[in-house]
Amino acid sequence: MADENGSSNSNSNSNSNSTSIRLPLMLYNTMTKKKEVFVPKFPGEVRMYVCGVTAYDYSHIGHARAYVAFDVLYRYLNQLGYNVTYVRNFTDVDDKIINRANEYKVKDPDNPLSDPLKLSDHYCAEFLKDMDDLQCLRPSHQPRVSDNIEEIIEMIGELIKKDCAYCLNDGDVYFSVDKFERYGMLSNRNLEDNRPGERVSVDHRKRNFADFALWKSAKPGEISWPSPWGNGRPGWHIECSAMSAKYLTYSFDIHGGGIDLIFPHHENELAQSCAACEEAHIGYWMHNGFVNINGEKMSKSTKNYFTIRQVTDRYHPLAVRYFLLSMNYGSPVNFSLPQTDLASDAVFRIYLTLQDCSDAVRPFQDNVNEKAKGSSKKTVQPSDAKKLKEDFESKMGDDLHIADVLKGSLQDALKSINNELNGLKKKQKQQKLLAVQSLTELEAAIRDVLELLGLLSASPYSEVLQQLKEKALIRAEMTEDEVSRMIEERAMARKNNDFAKSDQIRSQLTAKGVSLMDLPTGTTWRPCVPEGKDQLSGNVP
């Protein structure tokens, strides 16, 4: 795996498993407001830029939704055979970062986090830990604003030269929206709609209230860099234009981010990039939907949010990723404990089925291919694996309809495995070998789908199942020993024919997300969806 500023890990840009770009891919383009066939500017190559985080705090589930969505796109483009250059930036110079560093400085001047760049460096590293937990591949490049000041200054200079920007006496530089006739073409907003104070800062020195900052003059004690207009630092929007141009040129294929970035960030990016370079063009603008809590947008500014770390402390990262993929990327999704419990349960069922399948076929793996050779009869039809692959490609090709895969064809494939496993012991030897061969093919197809969705762990199935159980115990606020003692207490109650107490113990555990299973070998347990859990509100407990 690469470092945070370098290239992606070795698997992320490899096309060794892909033969060719074989299927059309439809993507919803925010610019045209419709789905379009994806055609890259250069055959076989894709250049993609996704706006990254402002690194001043732990990232929240809303951020995770964006980067999981574009990670799937990244994986799928690679699988289709494209050579993908994926750039995702870090904003490490910003008012929020400076303000947070000042808060640390007031409390303890010697705290390393009182330095804005050290503060942002710390939270960049924490963000990457979260992304690794969620199995997001590292992008090809992860540039930081502080490392690209020269490129930003050059671009601002070009805009001033073309009379699309102006400098005030104190060194502030603004983009002039009046000089760009197509301003508003991405968001479909008129300048009259941009009232001062609503997503546009109030500054009476500006020629037009919608003009936005390209360079901010330094205030006393603030971090700054020298420029032709005096010491200062970049505005927010110019950063992404300069960095995307540096790594991808002014003309590239996909620009992504959250739907809240359409205006003003992406609108302003588009305006300044086109003003700086006539050849500037982005083929497809893609935006993921909000994550809401009780119908309200998750946002740090309103303190209505949960960090990724808060949630992964209590839920397996695969369950969180599954939840984030359970709705189409462009739709809003409401974060709640019941929905996350359902996602966790779905992941447990997937890995339990794969574990059962692996256990069943393992004794036959040395001779199954030889014994089954020459026979066309299979109890699990070859079409099961083929159908899963074809349905996956069809849904992914239609603007990444991942939810349909998770809730439809993947569940059908898992059901086919379980049905076959239930009848496996009753089959004759030759039939059993044929069934095992088909099960192996279907397991491989499921693994391929999970890999492309970032839901396949590098750990053995058994380890993932154990990890899911450990997270369930955290949510239940119980230990393994406490569960075992309650199982023993229940066994004693059953032995004494005290079935009321036995049922009560089972119900108590089920309410906590612990489901008991009575087997011939004894009683064991697995995670389940807790009964009676309400919609999430307030902090994750």
Residue range 16-65, pLDDT digits in tens: 444 455 678 999 999 999 999 999 999 999 999 999 999 999 999 999 99
Q: What per-residue confidence (pLDDT) applies to 261? A: 97
Helix (H, G, I), strand (E, B) or coil at 161: helix
453, 402 in Cβ contact below 8 A?
yes
Strand order of the β-sheet with 296-297 is 296-297, 291-293, 333-334
Task: Give 171-184 pLDDT, tens digit per residue.
Answer: 999 999 999 999 99
Is the pLDDT assigned to residue 526 strictly greater than 90? Answer: yes
Task: Give 355-397 pLDDT, tens digit per residue.
Answer: 999 999 988 876 655 554 555 455 555 588 999 999 999 999 9
Q: In one letter, which amino acid is 469?
A: K
Q: What per-residue confidence (pLDDT) applies to 14? A: 42
d(CA 22, CA 20): 6
To which H or E segment does residue 525 belong?
strand 522-527
Query: Count of H helices and E strands in the chain?
Result: 17, 15
What average pLDDT score do residues 289-317 get?
Answer: 87
Q: Where are the beta strands (DSSP E) in 251-320?
A: 251-258, 281-288, 291-293, 296-297
Q: What per-residue confidence (pLDDT) applies to 1? A: 40
81, 20 in Cβ contact below 8 A?
yes
Mean confidence (pLDDT) of the chain:
90
Q: What per-residue confidence (pLDDT) applies to 539? A: 41
d(CA 230, CA 239): 18
Q: What per-residue confidence (pLDDT) applies to 287? A: 98
**Structure tokens, 418:** 């379980």
To which H or E segment does residue 275 belong?
helix 267-276
What average pLDDT score do residues 228-247 get?
Answer: 97
Q: In one letter, which amino acid is 436?
A: V
CA-based nearest residue to 396, from 410, 414, 381, 382: 410
Mean pLDDT lowest among 231-245, 444-458, 527-541: 527-541
Is the pLDDT assigned to residue 336 strictly greater than 70? Answer: yes
Task: Give 432-444 pLDDT, tens digit per residue.
Answer: 788 888 899 999 9
Q: Of all residues in the chain, what percent carry a pLDDT higher than 90?
A: 79
- Cα 392 from chain centroid? 19
Q: What per-residue confidence (pLDDT) applies to 10? A: 40
CA-based nearest residue to 81, from 53, 35, 45: 45
Q: What per-residue confidence (pLDDT) applies to 8? A: 45
- Say what the alpha-carbon torsion angle 128, 133, 136, 137 is, to the nearest 10 degrees: 70
Q: What per-residue confidence (pLDDT) applies to 304? A: 81
d(CA 216, CA 87): 25
Q: Of all residues in the chain, what percent carry a pLDDT higher than 70?
A: 88
d(CA 513, CA 342): 11
Q: What per-residue confidence (pLDDT) applies to 533? A: 56
- Rounded to the nearest 5 percent, the helix, strand and coil shares of the chain are 50, 15, 35
Is the pLDDT assigned to residue 335 strictly greater than 50? Answer: yes
Q: What per-residue confidence (pLDDT) applies to 193? A: 61
Q: What per-residue confidence (pLDDT) applies to 537? A: 41
d(CA 266, CA 47): 17
Q: What per-residue confidence (pLDDT) applies to 251? A: 98
Contact partners, residue 333, CB within 8 Å, separation at least 6? 65, 289, 290, 291, 292, 323, 324, 326, 327
Task: Give 260-282 pLDDT, tens digit per residue.
Answer: 999 999 999 999 999 999 999 99
Q: What per-residue confidence (pLDDT) applies to 322? A: 98
Conformational region of residue 257, where left means phi above 0, alpha means psi within -120 to 50, and beta covers everything else: left
Mean pLDDT lowest among 218-222, 446-450, 500-504: 218-222
Is the pLDDT assigned to residue 2 strictly greater than 70? Answer: no
- Say what the alpha-carbon torsion angle 328, 334, 338, 342 is, to the nearest 10 degrees: 10
pLDDT band at 297 (very low <50, low <70, confident <90, very high): confident
Q: What per-residue confidence (pLDDT) applies to 179? A: 95
